[in-house]
A and B are shown apart, each in its own frame.
Chain A
Amino acid sequence: MMKMEYFKKVVKESIIILIISSLLGLISGTVLSLNEEILYSIPIILLTLPALNSLIGDISIVLVSRLTTHLYIGTIAPEVKKSARLKEDFIGLFLTIIFSFGTLMTIGYIFLSIVGKQIVNPFIIIIILSITVLILFVILFIILFIFSIFLFKKGKDPLILIPLTTSLIDFLTPLLIIILIIIFI
């Protein structure tokens, strides 16, 4: 591309979403500090929160990247309907997030055991975190698929969804955990 067209396209497509994402990030910080007592009283959540955000964020980024590539090379049609390719991606990503979550919990509990922190209600905590991960994964898969198709049809790059998605995850993960803790504990 000539005359900085690539640069202009990236900036034009990203700027608004980035501003919204930054605002969400700052709201997330405020929500966390307002509820810090809940998070600090259950150390496994505080320890694993950044990793949980990363896990759901990574899978979402991979999903959007894969969908974008599929749309560009034509292996997924630009319409909202089930396909074998989409199903394969869903199962692959779903199983990866389950295995990764299991590993994360194991590392988290081993670390806390080493530093001698008490693990309160481990079964309920694992249920709360599992529900959070699964709800976010399924909802995000559906929403990101629909929005990717929509943007692609409009001639825009679906990759612009990534900043908004990661900020939404950074905001929704602690919020959902806090809500579930209030419900379960």
Chain B
Amino acid sequence: MERVEDETRIRIIKELFPSEIVSIIGSILAGVILTILILPFESFAVLILMVPAILSLRGNISGPFIARTGKDLIIGDFNKGTWLQNILATLFLSLITSVLIGTISFFLNVLFFKVEAFPFYVFIAIPVISILLNLSISIPISTFLNYIAFQFGLNVNNVVNPLMTAVDDFFSVFSFYLTLLLLGVP
């Protein structure tokens, strides 16, 4: 197994490029699915306010979780305790961020767009539920991939994050759609 400090540019490309291709295909699919599933909603004008912020949480919440798990594996700090605390911190940060996104979206709508689509609590519930749904899929998959990649001697930094981008892109759009259905958003 080649150590992190000895990695050549060729190895970086060999590990990263295939993951990037999967990530690109996942992102393009997410874009297509977003257009097909979300665009037909009557309240699309309001929903589009939240979409970029919710989608960017893929990198903001899930990305650091994956990177922390990977770092812990590499430096030998990975254990049940640190992993559970990593999950708790991720969930806690997700809740705070999604409430913030919902609240600001509500005020942006009141100030600029004035579309009466749904009440305030739905503005909060949409990001909270969709992010939690996404994380419930992302956390187990990314931990599994990190662990497997590490066991196979791959650099988890190179492999797992791009692969998880594809998974997170797809599931964040799908979770967003499921949340809209669950809440009965018009």
- 30 interchain pairs, CB-CB under 8 A: A6-B86, A18-B96, A18-B97, A19-B97, A26-B52, A26-B101, A26-B108, A29-B53, A47-B32, A49-B31, A50-B30, A51-B23, A51-B31, A55-B20, A55-B27, A57-B165, A59-B20, A61-B67, A62-B158, A69-B74, A75-B5, A92-B8, A92-B11, A92-B12, A96-B17, A99-B13, A104-B24, A104-B28, A162-B59, A166-B58
Binds B, one of A8-16, A116-124, A146-154: A8-16
Max count, chain A CB within 10 A of own CB: residue among B9, B48, B88: B9
The listed residue (A33, A68, A167) touching B59 by CB distance below 8 A is A167
Contact A167 to B60, CB < 8 A, known contacts A57-B165, A69-B74: yes
- A contact set with B: CB distance below 8 Å: 1, 4, 6-7, 10-11, 14-15, 18-19, 21-26, 28-30, 32-33, 46-51, 53-55, 57-59, 61-62, 64-66, 68-70, 72-73, 75, 85, 88-89, 91-93, 95-96, 99-100, 103-104, 107-108, 111, 157, 159-160, 162-163, 165-167, 169-170
Task: Tell me the complex Cα distance, A6–B28, Å.
Answer: 36
- Complex partner residue of A23 from B9, B63, B92, B104, CB under 8 angstroms: B104
Q: A4-B85, A68-B67, A68-B71 are in contact. Are A50 and B157 (CB under 8 A)?
A: no
B116 at the interface (CB under 8 A from A): no
Interface residues in B67-118 by Cβ distance below 8 A to A read 67-68, 70-71, 74-75, 81-82, 85-86, 88-90, 92-93, 96-97, 100-101, 104-105, 108, 112
Q: Which residue of A lies closest to B99 (CB)?
A: A22
Distance in angstroms from B23 CB to nearest chain A CB is 6
Q: Which residues of the partner chain A approach B85 to less than 8 Å between Cβ atoms?
A: 1, 4, 6-7, 10
Let me know if B28 and A108 touch, CB within 8 A: yes
B48 to chain A minimum Cβ distance, whole angstroms, is: 6
User: Which of chain A's residues have a CB closer than 8 A to the CB of B90?
Assistant: 10
Contact of B162 among A58, A85, A91, A170 (CB under 8 A): A58
Q: Does B137 lie at the interface of the complex (its beta carbon under 8 Å from any beta carbon of A)?
A: no
Asked if B178 is an interface residue, CB under 8 A from chain A, the answer is no
The 10 closest A-B pairs by CB, nearest first: A166-B59, A92-B12, A25-B53, A92-B9, A51-B27, A75-B5, A163-B60, A10-B89, A65-B157, A29-B52
Determine whether B149 belongs to the interface, using a CB cutoff of 8 Å to chain A: no
